[in-house]
């Protein structure tokens, strides 16, 4: 005998309005908490853009439709939004029409303004600043602001306990690049053991996968570990993350996957007891990639964190300084090109919200 259970579903459509504003004025008048500087991939990558749109569309606690200021590469903004940046406000009926087009398979969709709704294309080029100029303005002492970055890592005498038998099996599986053993070990691990730290260096098995595996399997291992609950921003004893290890070893596939999983490129480290990578405190993954000449890794880091190359270490050294010192001319050229990128400022707000109850679906038992 079978029965069917109905499932109620509600589609929520939020229409976001993005308008070009004067970038210099925003940097002069807004606090750093009100301004986000994004890399190209944070707009052009569909999954990253979806997360960004979800965040921007969240209703503020005050109930007002506050504008979020996004400083983004002009080329990326034009690729994603096109002429829609100059679209006029749409009436509530337009939101209703968008809602009618929402399929039952995509509840909670966030709709962008369709190109056929655009009435007033941009008549003049938007005001721009180079990424280097944006970074300089954020660093001005008179503004009382600084470049956003993660909390600094501090050295300590933390003692790491020995690995459990199951955690040790997980490390062995990763170290031997065995996908079959990895799946078996993950199946045996207790809650949280995927984040067990090595007593030697304090890194997790995610660090090992990102920094030591062959490039053709590192991406898969990183994805599997993150799916199992690995902390993508876990720190080793020197404060380094898996992203540091991947960038320092030149594993571009792992860098891309870690960034896709939410790794923070602004997190910094302090010095190893023996000089390997990161010869100074306060270094980001971009420092490690630049010092080692890993062009592809640094390119990915810049695409997911525009200001990454402007974060100095404890000596004030930028990734470009390390690349110059090591003679990595290609990396130096990449960083110089990034500093010249044209940036525009978008003021984004939720223009309208509409709801629709979708036809019920039934699950047979």
Model pLDDT, residue 154: 52
Give the three-state DSSP class for 15.
strand
**Domain identity same for 236 and 101:** no
Does 255 fall in a domain?
yes
Q: What values do phi and psi take at 315, rounded to 5?
A: -90, 0
Alpha-carbon dihedral of residues 119, 121, 127, 131, nearest 10 degrees? Answer: 110
Model pLDDT, residue 54: 77
**Domain identity same for 62 and 19:** yes
**Domain identity same for 195 and 217:** yes
- Whether 121 has a pLDDT exceeding 50, the answer reads no
**Domain identity same for 242 and 317:** yes
| Mean pLDDT value of segment 170-175 | 93
Cα–Cα dist 180/183, whole Å: 5
Cα–Cα dist 95/271, whole Å: 54
**Domain identity same for 136 and 187:** no
Residue 184: which pLDDT band, with cuts at 50, 70 and 90? very high
| Mean pLDDT value of segment 192-201 | 92
**Domain identity same for 249 and 301:** yes
Does 27 fall in a domain?
yes
- Whether 86 has a pLDDT exceeding 80, the answer reads no
**Domain identity same for 169 and 308:** yes
| Mean pLDDT value of segment 190-209 | 92
What b/e sequence results for 286-322 when a residue is b if at least 16 CB atoms lie within 10 Å of its CB, and e otherwise? bbbbbbbbbbbbbbbbbbbbbbbbbbbbeeebbbbbb
CATH number of the structural domain spanning residue 195: 1.25.40.20
Cα–Cα nearest to 165, from 189, 187, 184, 186: 189
Give the three-state DSSP class for 322.
helix
- Percent of the chain scored above 70 by pLDDT? 72
Cα–Cα dist 99/15, whole Å: 10
- Cβ pair 107, 361 in contact under 8 A: no
**What single DSSP character describes residue 171?**
H
**Domain identity same for 135 and 192:** no
Lowest mean pLDDT among 112-116, 148-152, 185-189: 112-116
Does 156 fall in a domain?
no
**Domain identity same for 126 and 45:** yes
Q: For 176, what's the count of Cα atoms within 13 Å in the CB-facing half-sphere? A: 13
Q: What is the average pLDDT score of the chain?
A: 79
Q: What values do phi and psi take at 236, rounded to 5?
A: -80, 180
pLDDT digits (tens, 9 = 90+) for 28-70: 886 656 788 999 998 888 778 877 877 777 655 444 457 889 9
Does 5 fall in a domain?
no
Model pLDDT, residue 66: 74
Residue 221: which pLDDT band, with cuts at 50, 70 and 90? very high
- Whether 130 has a pLDDT exceeding 90, the answer reads yes
- Whether 212 has a pLDDT exceeding 90, the answer reads no
SS (H, E, C) 216-282: HHHHHHHHHHHHCCCCCCCCCCCCCCHHHHHHHHCCHHHHHHHHHCCCCCCCCECCCCCCCCCCCCC
Does 3 fall in a domain?
no
Is 25 buried (19+), middle (13-18) or exposed (0-12) by CB count in 10 A? exposed
**Domain identity same for 173 and 304:** yes
**Domain identity same for 133 and 90:** yes
Tokens for 217, please give them: 């399997």
Residue 101: which pLDDT band, with cuts at 50, 70 and 90? low
- Whether 92 has a pLDDT exceeding 50, the answer reads no
Does 120 fall in a domain?
yes
Is 340 buried (19+), middle (13-18) or exposed (0-12) by CB count in 10 A? exposed
- Cβ pair 361, 6 in contact under 8 A: yes
- Whether 3 has a pLDDT exceeding 70, the answer reads no
Lowest mean pLDDT among 157-166, 322-331, 333-342: 157-166
Cα–Cα dist 320/23, whole Å: 25
**Domain identity same for 136 and 179:** no
Does 2 fall in a domain?
no
What b/e sequence results for 93-126 when a residue is b if at least 16 CB atoms lie within 10 Å of its CB, and e otherwise? ebbeebbeebeeeeeebbbbbeeeebeeeeeeeb
Does 285 fall in a domain?
yes
* Total domains, the chain: 2
CA-only gyration radius of the chain, Å: 23
- Whether 126 has a pLDDT exceeding 50, the answer reads yes
Range of the domain at 95: 10-149+343-359
Give the three-state DSSP class for 36.
strand
pLDDT digits (tens, 9 = 90+) for 136-156: 888 874 444 445 555 555 545
Place of tokens 């971009």: 286
| Mean pLDDT value of segment 249-265 | 94
Which carries the bigger pLDDT value, residue 292 or residue 215? 292
**What single DSSP character describes residue 87?**
P
């Amino acid at each position: 005998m079978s029965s069917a259970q109905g499932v109620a579903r509600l589609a929520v459509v939020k229409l976001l309005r993005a308008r070009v504003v004067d970038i210099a004025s925003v940097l002069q008048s807004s606090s750093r908490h009100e301004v986000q500087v994004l890399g190209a991939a944070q707009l052009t990558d569909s999954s990253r853009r979806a997360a960004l749109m979800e965040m921007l569309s969240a209703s503020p606690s005050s109930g007002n439709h506050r504008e979020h200021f996004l400083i983004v590469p002009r080329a990326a903004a034009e690729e994603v939004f096109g002429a829609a940046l100059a679209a006029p406000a749409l009436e509530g009926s337009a939101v209703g029409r968008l809602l009618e087009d929402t399929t039952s398979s995509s509840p909670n969709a966030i709709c962008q303004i369709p190109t056929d709704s655009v009435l007033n294309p941009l008549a003049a080029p938007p005001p721009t600043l180079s990424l280097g100029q944006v970074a300089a303005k954020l660093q001005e002492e008179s503004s009382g602001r600084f470049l956003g970055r993660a909390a600094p890592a501090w050295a300590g005498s933390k003692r790491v306990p020995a690995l459990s038998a199951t955690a040790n099996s997980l490390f062995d599986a990763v170290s031997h690049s065995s996908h079959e053993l990895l799946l078996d070990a993950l199946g045996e691990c207790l809650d949280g053991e995927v984040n067990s730290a090595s007593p030697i260096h304090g890194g997790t098995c995610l660090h090992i996968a990102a920094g030591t595996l062959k490039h053709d399997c590192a991406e898969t291992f990183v994805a599997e570990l993150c799916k199992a609950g690995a902390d993508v921003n876990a720190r080793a004893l020197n404060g380094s993350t898996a992203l540091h290890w991947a960038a320092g070893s030149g594993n571009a596939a792992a860098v891309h996957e870690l960034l896709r999983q939410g790794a923070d490129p602004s997190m910094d480290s302090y010095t190893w007891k023996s000089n390997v990578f990161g010869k100074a405190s306060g270094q980001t993954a971009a420092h490690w990639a630049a010092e080692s000449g890993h062009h592809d890794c640094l390119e990915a880091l810049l695409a997911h964190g525009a200001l990454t190359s402007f974060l100095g270490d404890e000596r004030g050294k930028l990734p470009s300084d390390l690349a110059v010192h090591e003679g990595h001319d290609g990396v130096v050229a990449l960083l110089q090109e990034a500093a010249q990128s044209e940036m525009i400022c978008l003021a984004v707000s939720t223009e309208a919200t509409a709801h629709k109850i979708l036809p019920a679906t039934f699950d047979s038992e």
